[in-house]
Amino acid sequence: MKLWGERFTRTTDRLVEDFHSSISFDQRLYKEDIAGSIAHARMLAAVGLITPAEGEAIIKGLEEIRADIEAGRVTFDVGAEDIHMNIEKLLTERIGEAGKKLHTARSRNDQVALDLRLYLKEEIPAVKKLLAGLQQVLVDLAAQHLQTIMPGYTHLQKAQPVTLAHHLMAYFEMFYRDQQRLDDCLDRVDVMPLGAGALAGTTLPIDRELVARELGFKAISANSLDAVSDRDFVVEFLAAASLIMMHLSRLAEEVIFWSSEEFGFLELDDAYSTGSSMMPQKKNPDVAELVRGKTGRVYGHLMGMLAVLKGLPLAYNKDLQEDKEALFDTLDTVKGCLMVFTPMLATARFRVERMRADASRGFAAATDVAEYLVRKGLPFREAHAVVGSLVLHCLREGRSFQDLSLEEWQSFSPLFDNDIFGCLEAEACVNGRNLPGGPAPEAVGKAIERAREILAGIQAGLSR
């Protein structure tokens, strides 16, 4: 007999039972479910709804069940539907009548909301730690490549010289904002819903604050209907995870480009590359490609969860069962991608000579030439036109800026003098941009110092 079966005269159809059951995936919540039940039992005993002896029996039974699950001695029952009823069933079989009192003053509706929040309270710091590991690699690589010149791009066309350090630190900043979003999400996850009951709380004299303290929540939910019916905290995490994956995918795209023969900026370690079953010469960036591909998977979970929620009336609806697989798979995907991406990047070898040579090709110094004329007193729009004409002249002649004589420079503007040649080297272009946030080694060095302080703060927060 199901724990809710007395109102029914027929047993659940087997197809419905299989369709309805969530134990195949929500068994992952067993630790959180047991922790919440232990706190609930302590509260029930504290307010006199069960005796101290019953409370002790329930807690001891739950601890034994947790140990048995972790030892692989428990087989979950599909007929018991979910992790909550499976554990209650196991508890009642183990300790008898006292087990039937555990569900006093609570519903599976507030119970599952509690479990999900407890689960995310553990998992978000785990994601933050992995993300910090990748950020540390970015900072360490940047420190090694403060002087490594490379082309910067817009529209995938060479634009201006930058340094590899500056490029890598751009991704540090993206992932730092991801860290901040995870912190914001965790702040809203950290609200205790237990006590909301099915939708309207309970008439029994429970102590919600006691349970919140026991479980380490900073606050209790302010509205019982909201507490059981919304999953915006899941959506918020999925959104934050989608942005992490978007940033990972962008970096993966660069790794894929850079490791191609056409770019030749980077060589991946053999341990993080694969070959072709047909073409013996191939060395493929499959790890980066798979990270890029898995990004769409996480986006799909976000869109799916938004679609589940968009038409739900208050309060709880069975549609909300769809939150768990989306959440679990997103966590597995993000954590798995971070775990493999970080060592892939850490072991990659950058071809600094190729980067430097590529940064000197084309007309990457064009903006610097225009700014040279601005310093000589020419309005920028006129300077832009002069340099545009110079570029067109060089293209028609098949030459570069470095090939032009001073007389040729002066034929385009009398403001050009011998000092123009000092503006054309990539190092000069980079070093001249020594402003906060700029690519000059001194500016990037300061950014790296700031990044190390940020990472120290993240690590200190995770260790608390």
Tokens of 427: 């190092």
Q: Where are the alpha helices (DSSP H) in 47-95?
A: 52-70, 83-95
Total H helices, total E strands in the chain: 18, 6
Residue whose structure tokens are 């479910």:
33
Q: From residue 296, how far is each of 25, 94, 125 by CA, in Å? A: 22, 45, 23
β-pairing, 157-163 vs 191-192, is: unpaired
Tokens of 395: 């293209």
Half-sphere exposure of residue 243: CA atoms within 13 angstroms, side-chain side: 17
Tokens of 133: 């590991």
| Rounded Cα distance, 65 and 59, in Å | 10
Burial 146-167 (b: 16+ CB within 10 A, else e): bebbbbbeeeeebbbbbbbbbb
CA angle at 323 for the pair 322 and 329, rounded to the nearest 5°: 100
Cis amide linkage into residue 315, ω under 30° from 0: yes
Q: Are 222 and 149 in contact (CB under 8 A)?
A: no
Find all residues with CB under 8 Å of 274, minimum gap 6, and list them: 283, 284, 286
Give the distance, in angstroms, between the CA of residue 121 and the centroid of all CA atoms in the same chain.
15
The catalytic position among 22, 37, 103, 155 is: 155
Tokens of 262: 């056409």
Q: Are 316 and 109 in contact (CB under 8 A)?
A: yes
Of the candidates 265, 278, 329, which has an alpha carbon nearest to the alpha carbon of residue 300?
329
| Rounded Cα distance, 151 and 169, in Å | 15
| Rounded Cα distance, 283 and 279, in Å | 9
Q: Are 41 and 102 in contact (CB under 8 A)?
A: yes
- DSSP per residue, 305-374: HHHHHTTPPSS--GGGGGHHHHHHHHHHHHHHHHHHHHHHHHT-EE-HHHHHHHHHSTTTTHHHHHHHHH
Q: Catalytic: 405?
A: no
The catalytic position among 24, 260, 276, 389 is: 276
| Rounded Cα distance, 316 and 387, in Å | 66
Tokens of 273: 């590359």
Q: Catalytic: 276?
A: yes
Active site residues: 155, 276
